[in-house]
Every structure is written in structure tokens, then in C-alpha cells.
Structure 1
Amino acid sequence: MKRTLCTMKTKLIILLLLTSTLTAGAQMYFGTKKEVPDSVFNALAQTPPMGWNSWNKFGCNVSEQLIKEMADAMIATGMKDAGYEYLVIDDCWQVGRDEEGNIQIDPKRFPNGMKALADYVHAKGLKMGIYSCAGSETCQGRPGSRGYQFQDARTYATWGIDYLKYDWCSNEGQKAEAAYRTMSDALKACGRPIVFSICEWGENEPWKWGKGIGHLWRITPDIRDCYQCVFDWGGVGVLDIIDKMADLYPYAGPGHWNDAEMLEVGNGGMTRDEYITHFSMWCMLAAPLMSGNDLRNMDKETIEILTNKEVIAINQDKKGEQARRFMDMGEKEIWAKPLDDGELAVCFMNRTENSWKLDYDWKKQTIYFADEVNIHRKEYKIRDLWQHKDIGTTERNTRHEIPAHGVLMVRLTPIK
């Protein structure tokens, strides 16, 4: 009996020592920072994130100097003043792992390291984003985060990262929800609030499970710089994305957004009217606004589109609703988005190759949102958000010539 008690005590002491060792190890690994509680994590991205991403324009050609120049340009061009804040380095910044498994930065392209670069970005009043992948490799064959999620998240926190785009290449048959939840848990454990961008291309319907795991989720393959186009090797045009977004409005709201992909405005593949449609609809759809062009060399037209504060205000409205396709007349559509304080954004979208001579009688159509907006009961002032002027009220018809592939985007404010 005494021998049994002695054995039990010995086992208990060993167990306590082992537990103490594991706890000490965890503290060494995560540091002394507390976990990010769900309440703090879920409070991030209360409006769609706005910023810039390197991929569309620069692909793998990223560097410390490029990011610094983009940070400077974001301020000089008025982008920061318009609400853009994240600078996201996409794929190709990483080259391997050291003997302890720590992710290694390309020393030639980022000679001073990510912490110094993040400090530079933060000193400008901006935020820093980075890219990784749920698979063993990224889409460009660099080391992914599979098996290193908690280690990588802690590293990002020590660098001062504010945003993580997490791709889906080389996923090796993982279950998407479980894979993204693991990284989400790692980000919550790292001690720093980091916006989490789920980028699995809509393959596993992330809008159904992404809330609480991430703050935004891609709903299509990569965007291409075209209004409507077909690729046999992947990629979608602006209209394809809009059509995919149309039925997903129930899943969008503060802290959880359907991601319509990065913006192509300014990259040269579309006309001015097509870029205005692209930007207008991303704002109507409450999509994240991540520009993907060279901010250092924007012409006046591109700056005017990307910094249109009246249009951006529709995207950033705190009510956080995604627009709905109120009327589909084939190639002519009317989209409506309820706003805070009983206002309404309406976008008339012309998908045809010809101009649309609009003559719209507001009283014949009922745009109605749960008693918040009712054009039959109230009169609304109509403001053209691209001409920056009032163009009448809902008491009389709105007449406007909408160009091919163009839009008329207006804000309705009740007249008291």
C-alpha cells in the first residue's frame, strides 16, 4: 500500500513538473502578451478595409523600397486622406525557414527586415499587411504556413503586422474551414489584433462559415483587368464578380465582408467608364477597397476615381449593408443599398454597348427596405456622386444618359 502511494505521488510530481514545463514553454513561445479576445477580434474591420496590395501590378517584384514609396504615394496622392490605410505585401517576400522553423525574409529585397518596414509604415499613420498561405507552399512556391501557423502568427505580431491575406494554394486536400480556423486561432493567440483576409477563392462557400474566423473572404478566382472576359486558365472580369456577389448580401455586415477582389483601377485594361463602374459597384457591394495599381504614377483620372469621397462614403457607411439588385432588365440593372439615417444609394448600371437614355419615374417603382426607405411616403433629394451635384428629387423623373458600360450612382436623402 505504501509503495502504491509512493508511486502515485511520484507520478503526480512528474505530472506537475511536466505541466509547469509546458506552461513555461508556452509563455516563452507566445511571450507575455495576452490572447486577443473574440470581442476584440470581431470588432476589427467594422467597415470594409481600404488599402493597397502589391500583386495586381507588381506580382513577385516586391521590395522594401517599393513599399516605402507606396506609403509615401498613398499620402501624397490623397489616398490616405480618402480612407486608404493598409499596405499589403503579397507573395514572394519569403524565401525559406531557419533551423528553428522561423519564416525567413528575402534579405536582398528587404535588407532591414519587416519590423523596420512596418515601423516606417506606422510612422506615416498607415498600417502594414502581409501574405501567407494555408498550404505547405504559397502560390509562387514560397514556404506556406501549414504546420507553422502559431509560430508565423507570433512572428507577424513581433513585426507589427496589422493585416494577413491567407491564400489556398498547395492545400493538400485540407478542409478549408478547419484550415482557416487554425490560423484564426493562431492570430487570436499572438497578442496583436490582426485583420484576417480569407483567400480560398470561394471554392468552399466561405460566406457560410467565415464570420468569426476571418473578417473578409474572397468569393471568386483572381480578378483580371477587364470588364467582361473569359480565361481558360483562370481569372474573372468585373461583371463576373458582380454577378457572383449579387446573392451574397445576407452574409455581409460590420466585421465580416464578401471580398470582391482587389481593384484594377488605373492598370490600363478598361475604359474610364468601365473603371467608374468597377469602383462604383465595389462601393455599392460593401466590398473591401484594395487598390492594385502603381500609386506613384497615377494620372488625374485614376486619382479622381480612387479618391471620390462621396462614392467611398457609400462603401464605408456604418450600417454595413451590401447592395441588392433591385431590378434586372437584362443588360440594364438597378442596384439599391440602404444607408444609415434612412438614406439610400442607388446605382443604375448599363451593361450594354450603347448609351442608356434613362427616364426614371421613382413613383412607379417601390424601393422599400423595412420601413426605413419608402419613396412613396417621403420625398428624397437626389445627388449624383460622380458629378458631385444635386440633380432633383424623387417627386419628378430622373433623366440621364448613361454611357456604354457606365453607371449613374446617386444618393437619396429624405427631405424633412
Structure 2
Amino acid sequence: MLASLTSFVALALLAAAAPAVDNGYGRTPTLGYNTYNAFACAPDEAKSLDSIAALKKHGLIDAGYKTFQIDCGWQSNQRDPKTGAIAVASDRFPRGLGVVADAARGQGMDFGMYTDQGLLSCDTDTSRGAIGSLGHEAADAAFFASLNATTVKVDNCFVDGKDNSPKVPRTDFVTRFKAMGDALKAHGIKGMTICQWGVPYSSPSNGLQGPAQWTGDISTSYRLSDDIAKGWTSILQISNQAMHIAKRGMSGPGHFADADLLEVGNGGLTAAEEKTHFSLWAMLKSNLMVSTQMDKASPDSLALLANKELLAINQDSMGKPIQLIQRFTNDHDVYAGPLANGDVAVLIVEQGNLAGSMKIDFSLLEIVSADVHDLWTREKKTKVDSYTAEMDQHGCIALRLSNVERPSTFSDKIAWHPATSGKGGVRADCSGCSGKSKVGGIDDAAVYRLDNITAARAKSTLLFDYINAEVQFSFQGETNERGALIRVNGGEEQSVSFPLSGYNWDTDVWKNYRVDLTGFVVGGGNYIEIRGGSKLSQYAPDLDRIGIIV
């Protein structure tokens, strides 16, 4: 089937907004400080007051980090006999939490709280028996309101009092978190971040869903993934889970996807990786929550947190995250996203462990020319059609394009091939697929082959409509990708990475995923062979259809 390719970049960047809370809070992502990555579940009064003072000293409050949030560890193992609210751990906060809240406000910050929607709370020292809010939402919300908290992070541990952090689909997410959301709303607290680590919700009518799909009318923000961990693998795992959310328009004002706390300043990342991590989180429009021991973070780490150009993109009023435009597997990723004044945010991330010069041709973004501002080197160029800069391993190029000129017409054509027209793999029904069926089960033994492909050039761009709903979690070395090894006309295998497309193997199709492959003969009679068994996964993604730009 031959079809016109109406500017896929334009269509991607104009994705419809998802349901969102509209109460005046969270119209832009939250900028602030959270105690968890710095102190785990063991914050105390001195650590909190010192952190607030350090934020002021290093200019981060003036840079826009305006919320100070206590995370897990403030709770005791009992309730206040008068109010019924969780009692504050007096060994850590002997004067109560009001001292910390007042200190934050005294420096121009709001105050944020934490609780857990389980019988017990998440805790890095479970012997303490710190309690959660399940069944006591009204009393705890009233306590948070007495501290004039503007936002509350709500965690998901110990739902039954036994299992610390269950990573299995559940049917009670909506009712359980809505109970706390309603209580916060009743007490005038507008901000809420649901933190259930991107675990699937088992919907009685729609199958498995991610938090982006069910939190829209409950909270102003939601954790898109499992907890962040030290190291580059965690950055990959979270970013690969964020991509389908941005592509489907499920993050924006009143409902921002939270990629978790920043690891900047905590070690485990190189200087280049810290810049990439911060750039990704900023342009994905995640909450930006500093979470490091301020007296131990390097001056360079603290300085990059104050990059005013990236903070401005994060706080842009349009609230649209960058989207993956194309992944050049084992080399680099290219992202782009619109800004309120017509500018375009662009991010290139090095993925091949190779330092060197990197060039981005703006034609990939369907841009003829633009003025360029490099947000790290501060270099500026006027009316150019490409940009070149040096990148370190896992480094990035972060750009803001202005005075953008786009082509007046877009004339590429796609020849589509249903996956079921090929050979190999396993056929299955698929309600979200273009032809209501797909091909899966493609591994090292079950090779898939598609014949009769007509190519216009030796190196051609293919578009894959695929499903990868294999959600992976932190601390396991996984990166939320499925891999495929593809041969063109029997040539050398070319490795291709396919990020997570969603949560549901029946509905969550990633459409128009661009892949450049070499080895075609101009004209008809070409074929491709696809197998799993790559270093990324045993299986390739399930395939809906494959197109080639002709």
C-alpha cells in the first residue's frame, strides 16, 4: 500500500493532550529539592535545615528551585492520639516538621510532604515500622495541610503490610490513590505526585495500563518508571520508558510525567552523563528535584543545575516534552519538541560510547534553516541548516532553535507492508494494529522474512509499527528495549533498538518508528530478515506493519 507521509514530525509534536488536573497547580513541572537520594529514608531536622541553607547559598532557590520536600523517614510507627494523623518521628524531628516548613518558606520556598498509600511506609530501615496512610487519608491530609504543604508525593510500598515494593500488576491503583487524592483536595492541597514506579494497572475493561493512562484526573504528576539508580543504565531505562508517553501526548500541564529525582552530584555518572541526564529530564518536562548532599556535590554539578536556558525550556508554558525523532542504534538519539513562542528544543544524545564530532542535519526535523543557540557551549549561529559540535561518551548537544523555517511542502511516500504478509514468527490478533493482526515470537530460531520490497536508494529509511510492552524495572540491568538483528538482501546483520511502546501487547503500537538500513538494491525484489537474540533481548518486538520511504 502506498500512502503519503504527512509530516510525521509535525504530527508527533502536535499530539493531543491527555486528561489532566486543572486546579492551577502544576502548570509547569515542579522545581525543588527532595531529601531521598541524599539521605534515603533517614532525613532529620539538621540535615533538612542545612540543605535549605545550602540551596540558598549556592543560588539554586534564586534559579527557580522553589519547593523543599521531605521524603520517607519522617514517620513514626504510631498515630497521634488526638488527631489520628501519623506521628512525626521525634528522634529525627524533635521540634516537629513545622520548623523545617517554616525555614523553607523563610527562604522563599514552598513545602512538600511525603506519604505512602499502604499500611506501612517505604523505608530503607524497615525495622522502624514507619506507617502509611492507607485507611487514614483524611487525618493525614489534614496534618499536611496544617504544615501548609503545597504538594505531596504518595508512594506504593507495603500495601498489605507485608511486601515492601510489589512490582506486579494490581487492580486497586485507581481506588487506592484516588482516596488520598480526594483527601488532599478536600484540605486544599493541590499538588500530588503518584509514585507507583510505573507498575502496570490491571484495568477491568482495558487490560494493562501505565500510570499515564489512569492518573489523569487524580494527580498533577505521576512517576513514569521505577526508582532512579546510580549509573548510565538507569538513565537509559527511564528515558526508554518516557518515550512512548511523550509520543502519545500523555504528559503536560496538570499531568506531568515524573522521571524521578535528579542524580546530579551523587557520583556514578561522568560529567558528560550528568549534563545529558539533566538535559533529558529538563526537556522531557519532568519535575526537576535536586537530591544530593549539597556539601558533597562538586561545584560543576551545582553549576549545571542552574543552567537557566534549560530551566527555561523545562518551565515553558506549552509544557510539551521532547519526542524521539530517530534512534540511530549504537550511535545517537535525536529528540525535538515545540516551545510556546514557536522555537524548537532539540537534544542529541550519544549512545555509542564514542567521543567525537556530531552533526545534526535539520532536514531530519523537517526544518530548512534556523538560528541556533547551544545551551551548554553558549555558541550561537544564524540561519543555518545544520549544526556540528563535539560530544563525549554519553554526552549530549542541547539546542534551542529560533526563527525556524519549514518547507512549504512535504512529499515523501511510504509503501506499507503488513507484517502478516511475510514469513516466520507467530500470527496473533491485535486490536490496536492497522490490520487487526500482528506477528510476534520472533527470536533467534524463528526468523521473520519480508519479501518484495521496492527501494529508491541503497540506504533507505524504513518505518516500523511495532509493540514492545515488556516493562522492566530498576536494579536489574535492563533498559526497556527490545532488540532486533536485521539483514537486508542477506547482507550483514544490523542491530536495531526498539524502546518500550506501552503496557498492552494488544493495543500499544508505536507508529512510524524510523530505522535507516543499508544494503538495498534500487528497484524491486528486495527482502529483509529479522531475528531476535540480540544483546538487548531474546525476542524482537511484535510487528504490525513495515513501511519504506520511496
TM over 0.5: yes
Query: How far, CA to CA, are the matches of 1:94 and 1:43 in structure 2?
Result: 29
- Secondary structure of the structure 2 residue equivalent to 1:112: coil
Query: How far, CA to CA, are the matches of 1:202 and 1:211 in structure 2?
Result: 14
User: Pick from 163, 166, 191: which aligns with 2:154?
Assistant: 166
User: Pick from 140, 147, 151: which aligns with 2:139?
Assistant: 151
Query: How far, CA to CA, are the matches of 2:232 and 2:404 in structure 1?
Result: 37
More strand by share: 2
Whether the 8 Å contact between 1:41 and 1:194 is mirrored in structure 2 is no
In terms of mean alpha carbon deviation, does 254-263 or 386-395 score higher?
386-395
Corresponding residue of 1:308: 307
Whether 1:413 aligns to 2:402 is yes
User: Pick from 194, 197, 209: which aligns with 1:198?
Assistant: 194
Whether the 8 Å contact between 1:323 and 1:338 is mirrored in structure 2 is yes
Query: How far, CA to CA, are the matches of 1:410 and 1:145 in structure 2?
Result: 44
Q: TM-score, normalised by structure 1?
A: 0.82
Query: How far, CA to CA, are the matches of 1:407 and 1:391 in structure 2?
Result: 18
Query: How far, CA to CA, are the matches of 1:255 and 1:388 in structure 2?
Result: 32
In terms of mean alpha carbon deviation, does 302-311 or 164-173 score higher?
164-173
More helix by share: 1
Whether 1:225 aligns to 2:230 is yes
Corresponding residue of 1:133: 116
Query: How far, CA to CA, are the matches of 1:285 and 1:60 in structure 2?
Result: 27
Whether the 8 Å contact between 1:392 and 1:398 is mirrored in structure 2 is no
Structure-to-structure mapping, 1:77-156, within 5 angstroms: 77-95=58-76, 96-100=78-82, 101-140=84-123, 141-156=129-144
Whether 1:388 aligns to 2:378 is yes
In terms of mean alpha carbon deviation, does 94-103 or 151-160 score higher?
94-103
% same residue: 32
Counterpart amino acid of residue 273 in structure 1:
A
Q: 1:40 to 1:349 in 2, by over 3 A?
A: closer
Equivalent residue pairs, number:
358
| Cα distance, 1:356 vs structure 2 | 4.2
Corresponding residue of 1:19: none
Q: TM-score, normalised by structure 2?
A: 0.63
- Secondary structure of the structure 2 residue equivalent to 1:340: coil
Cα deviation code 1:6-42 (max 9, x no counterpart)? xxxxxxxxxxxxxxxxxxxxxxxxxxxxxxxxx9963
Counterpart amino acid of residue 209 in structure 1:
W
Query: How far, CA to CA, are the matches of 2:40 and 2:404 in structure 1?
Result: 49
User: Pick from 213, 231, 236: which aligns with 1:239?
Assistant: 236
- Secondary structure of the structure 1 residue equivalent to 2:184: helix
Corresponding residue of 1:29: none
Q: 1:147 to 1:415 in 2, by over 3 A?
A: closer
Cα deviation code 1:235-271 (max 9, x no counterpart)? xx00110000011011111111111111000001110
Query: How far, CA to CA, are the matches of 2:182 and 2:272 in structure 1?
Result: 43
| Cα distance, 1:297 vs structure 2 | 3.4
Structure-to-structure mapping, 1:175-186, within 5 angstroms: 175-186=172-183
Whether the 8 Å contact between 1:352 and 1:404 is mirrored in structure 2 is yes
Query: How far, CA to CA, are the matches of 2:171 and 2:404 in structure 1?
Result: 54
| Cα distance, 1:183 vs structure 2 | 0.6
Counterpart amino acid of residue 279 in structure 2:
S
Query: How far, CA to CA, are the matches of 1:128 and 1:41 in structure 2?
Result: 21
Query: How far, CA to CA, are the matches of 2:98 and 2:359 in structure 1?
Result: 56
Counterpart amino acid of residue 70 in structure 2:
I
Query: How far, CA to CA, are the matches of 1:341 and 1:93 in structure 2?
Result: 43
Query: How far, CA to CA, are the matches of 1:110 and 1:174 in structure 2?
Result: 36
- Secondary structure of the structure 1 residue equivalent to 2:105: helix
Corresponding residue of 1:3: none
Whether the 8 Å contact between 2:74 and 2:88 is mirrored in structure 1 is yes
| Cα distance, 1:102 vs structure 2 | 2.5
Whether 1:212 aligns to 2:195 is no
Unpaired runs of 5+ in structure 1?
A: 1-38, 229-236, 369-374
Counterpart amino acid of residue 335 in structure 1:
Y
Corresponding residue of 2:41: 60
